[in-house]
Amino acid sequence: MPTGPQFSGGGRARASALDLLQLAAAFGADLLRGKRSDPAAVGSRWVYKVIEKRGGTDLEIAVPGRPLELIADHGHSDEVLSGFDTYGPGSAKKAGMSFLAPGALTIADGDAWRQLRPFNERVLGTGVAHPFAQTFLGHVRTAFAKPVSSVDDIRAAMGRAMVRIVLGDVADATDPAKDVTVLFGVVQSPIKRKLLGFLYGGRRKRLYRLLGACWDGSASTSQQTLLAVARQSAPGLDRDTLLQQVPHWMFTFTGSGTDLLARTLMLVTSRPDVYRQVLDEIRAVGTIDQADTIGRLAYLEACVLETGRLFPPVTKTFHSRSPATGAKTEEFVHYFPMLQRDDRLGATVHQFRPERWLSEELDAAAAASNLFLRGPRACPGMDLILFVCKAAAARQIGELGLSARQQRLVADPLPVSFPKVDARFTVSGSST
């Protein structure tokens, strides 16, 4: 399977003060382009230009108190993502997630990771059809029973589906979807955490009170939930650590899952040929109120994967060298829009081609995608969120006739940043 250019170990280039000034000027000029602005493309071009000028394979950027290496080589990216004993979660990642869930899998290492990883895989159904897939499909179909008109509608519907799938039946007065979305906004903002973090303590306590009640069964009547599986699969870890796995499951729906679904809907419905193929597949597989039918929507799944390759909803992740290696502490950052749109991956890297995911052997562009990461830190919930996205898209497109028709998404090559479009959806009539 092609993996793009291999890591040559050519060292790192170091960005000078002049290089950084040129980057700031390039961003400023890009802002003047308004809706045609493409900051991810500007930043990516600058990185590769500096590397070509200074020599090396990655780029070192001076950050006060912390050496930061921006990975620009695909082989090195694979090495870091798969090197569990050599690389661990980065300090920036740990600092952010520790605000909400210091015991979360995403920042776990060593023995804690070895216990939490299989637990998360069992609960989320990694690599298999989830045993509660049919129940989960019912929740998705109910949440998306009406046509959405905006990204906010999609986020709200994903939140409703998430509550039922993860927690079960909770009191209407609670709003865990909003709580987890707000709290992850703090997780992702160092300024909010350091200056205003104390303001969110009450919301964090409220979320964990609800999670604890659902875990104990006092606030949940449904047994076909992720928490039900978790209670049955809990390893020998304390209750607080187990509960700290849950917020990330929840935010995947209202965060990256929402972005992935919304962009897929816009891309598919903006391209007549793709739209027709999706409709034809939905009609061919039969009724889409059955979980096994959703599993057979291969072309629709390819559209979701291709959307995530072009416009990854999670744009970056941080790693650092494990102290056990004896090497000095370094911070490595993967910036996925740059890595996944590297021109060295082939002439079609900026084109929307779902069919690349249906070949027996993936092409270089598909093989280099890090939509769900890879190796030991690959997202354990990838199969579940793909299922949810396909089910929601099939409902909205196949049954409700959703359309977007965004002109900026019709033609290739596509920008590296998701274009600034009026993300409004319309209904063209029943499609099946």
**Per-domain residue ranges of the chain:** 12-427
Instruction: Evaluate if residue 5 carries a pLDDT over 60.
Output: no
User: How many alpha carbons fall within 13 Å on the CB side of residue 220?
Assistant: 23
What does the pLDDT look like over 176-217, one tens digit per residue?
A: 999 999 999 999 999 999 999 999 999 999 999 999 999 887
- Residue-level length of the chain: 432
Write the CB contacts of 56 (distance below 8 Å, at least 6 apart in sequence).
10, 11, 12, 13
pLDDT at residue number 326? 56
Q: Which of 3-17, 295-309, 315-329 has the lowest mean pLDDT?
A: 3-17
| pLDDT, average across residues 70-86 | 89
Instruction: Evaluate if residue 3 carries a pLDDT over 50.
Output: no
Pairing relation of β-strands 58-61 and 68-71? antiparallel
3-state secondary structure 173-197: CCCHHHHHHHHHHHHCCHHHHHHHH
Write the CB contacts of 35 (distance below 8 Å, at least 6 apart in sequence).
408, 419, 420, 421
Phi, psi of 396 (to 5 degrees): -70, -40
pLDDT at residue number 233? 83
How far apart are alpha carbons 191 and 284 in whole angstroms? 51
3-state secondary structure the chain: CCCCCCCCCCCEEECCHHHHHHHHHHHHHHHCCHHHCCHHHHHHHHHHHHHHHHCCCEEEECCCCCCEEEECCHHHHHHHHHCCCCEEECHHHHHHHHCCCCCCHHHCCHHHHHHHHHHHHHHHCCCCCCCCHHHHHHHHHHHCCCCCCEHHHHHHHHHHHHHHHHHCCCCCCCCHHHHHHHHHHHHCCHHHHHHHHHHHHHHHHHHHHHHHHHHHCCCCCCCCCHHHHHHHHCCCCCHHHHHCCHHHHHHHHHHHHHHHHHHHHHHHHHCHHHHHHHHHHHHHHCCCCCHHHHHCCHHHHHHHHHHHHHCCCCCEEEEEECHHHCCCCCEEEEEHHHHHCCHHHCCCCCCCCHHHHCCCCCCHHHHCCCCCCCHHHCCCCHHHHHHHHHHHHHHHHHHCCEECCCHHHCCCCCCCCCCCCCCECEECCCCC
- Per-residue CA distances from 91 to 72, 88, 96, 393 (Å): 20, 9, 9, 37
- Greater confidence, 329 or 133? 133
Question: Closest by alpha carbon to 395, among 217, 28, 146, 63?
Answer: 146
Instruction: Evaluate if residue 8 carries a pLDDT over 80.
Output: no
pLDDT at residue number 319? 92
Share of the chain above pLDDT 90, in %: 77
Instruction: Evaluate if residue 18 carries a pLDDT over 70.
Output: yes
| pLDDT, average across residues 82-109 | 92
Token pair listed for 394: 């099939």
Homologous superfamily of the 12-427 domain (CATH): Cytochrome P450 (1.10.630.10)
User: How many alpha carbons fall within 13 Å on the CB side of residue 28?
Assistant: 6
Q: What is the pTM of this model?
A: 0.93
- Per-residue CA distances from 191 to 45, 240, 315, 360 (Å): 28, 27, 19, 46
How far apart are alpha carbons 363 and 348 in whole angstroms? 10
**If pLDDT is split at 50, 70 and 90, which confidence band does 6 have?**
very low
Q: Which amino acid is at 104?
A: A
pLDDT at residue number 323? 63
Contact 148, 62 (CB under 8 A): no
pLDDT at residue number 4? 38
- Per-residue CA distances from 200 to 21, 182, 184, 221 (Å): 36, 9, 11, 29
Share of the chain above pLDDT 70, in %: 93
Q: What is the CA radius of gyration of the chain?
A: 22
| pLDDT, average across residues 258-284 | 97
Phi, psi of 283 (to 5 degrees): -65, -35
Instruction: Evaluate if residue 431 carries a pLDDT over 60.
Output: no
